[in-house]
Every structure is written in C-alpha cells, then in structure tokens.
Structure 1
Amino acid sequence: MKFQRRPCEPISLNLTPLIDVVFLLLIFFMVSTTFDQTSELDLQLPEALHGEQARDRAPLQIEVSEDGAISVNGEASDNLPDTLTQFLQDHTAPERVVVIADERARHGQVTRVLDALTGAGLTQVSFQTRYEP
C-alpha cells in the first residue's frame, strides 16, 4: 500500500510576539525613567585638614574670588581663555596649574575655570586650600 505524503510546511520563525514584547519593554522604560536636573549650588567648602603644604609657587596660579572675579598670577582677567592663550604664547606650558578658589566662590565659576584650562590643553591642575595644622 502506498501512502501519500503530505507536503511539509516550510519552517519559519514568527517574530511578531517578540517585537510586541520589545515595544512593551521600550514603552515601560520610557515611562518609568526620571531625569535629574542639576543646578548650581552655593557651597561652603571646608578647610583642608590633611595634605601637604605647597613647597613652591606654581608658574600659573588662577584665583577665583567670592564674587566670581578671576585673576591670573595676580592680574585681573575678564576673558580667561584669551588670557591663557596669551600666557601660553609668552611662556612654555607649565607642568601644573594651581586653582585658588575662595570657599564662598560659586561652583559654576570654578567649573568654567577648569573648562577654560582644559580647552587650553592644561590638564595638570591642583587646588590650593587653606591649611592650618
């Protein structure tokens, strides 16, 4: 007796349920995500209790006062990137830069100083604090 073979259906993978699950997960994560907003804070920075006293004066010192005024090596600067460019044209690039910020200086102003230093290619930065043993 001769049996007839049924034609075989080609094997296929149905991706529709997988796509539905991926979209549901995407919607879930989009809805449940929160975004933190940062703001500038007025910080009172403490005195340094540990560390070592600076042994020598750095060739480039940037001071940030309480009111946000910036001075480079004791001279007031209205445009820090231009002042840094002029300094680097007149002198060789210093090994390190010292940032001296008043404890009541705004964090945003100190961040702008660090950004200007990075833009000028000066990445060896240290902070000077008041040290009272």
Structure 2
Amino acid sequence: MPLKTHPEDAPALNLTPMIDILFLLIIFFMVGSKFTEMERSVDLDVPQVNDLGALTAAPEKKVINIFRDGRVMLGTQVVSLEDLKTELSTSQAQYQDLGVLVRGDSDVPFQQVATVLTTVRQAGIAEMAISVRLANERR
C-alpha cells in the first residue's frame, strides 16, 4: 500500500458566486435609483397648501381619579359628576376618539366607580379603561 509523501493542496475558497451576488445587488440599486429620478422629473404641478401640521393631534387619555372619601378628580381638579359630564362632553366634541382612564382607590365601593363609568358613557365617551395594579407590585 503506497503512502502519500506529498502534502495535499490547501482547499480553495471560490468567490465567484459571492461576486456575482454583489454585482446583481449593485445593478438592482442602480436601476432602483433611476426610477426615483424619473419620478422626480415628471412634469407635474402639484397644488400648494400652507404648512398647518397635523389636522388634529390625538390627545392623551383623560384621567379620572376616585378617592376613598368620594372625591372625583378630572386631571388635577376636583369635579362633581355633572361637571365631569360637561367637561367630557366638551372634550369629546373636539376630538371624537377621546379616551378615559378611571383610577379608583381600592377602598372605594364599586358603586362609586360604576357611577363614574356611567357618567363617562353618558358624556359620549366610548373608549374607557380602568387602572389596576398587579397583586405582587409594591407602591
């Protein structure tokens, strides 16, 4: 049995497929940039408008806090249920998709929360949420 006395050639890395892919990508991006240039060169006179920004910015959800002593706060001001309904109706008229987040103290009777939710619904607000805290979270 003959023994090999000469070392084998080191394996060669064939770069041809990788170079082919690189050239295809270059051609793809060159052709793509030509299309954008042609789009810009179309002779079209588009209408002009003043820079007014967005038509209406989506407001943040209104936060209603219900305290254990029965106080109801809309944002930072104490309100009665009638004032709450008026404020929310006014805000909802300005922005149709207004949302409300109701935060009730854990010692508040559910009837008080249900009354506030009913008042929010009577004001025409459809998007309501109730804030809770997970049992294992600490204050």
Q: TM-score, normalised by structure 2?
A: 0.47
Higher relative contact order (CA 8 A, sep 6+): 1
Structure with larger Rg = 2
**Which has the larger share of helix?**
2
Normalised TM-score (structure 1): 0.49
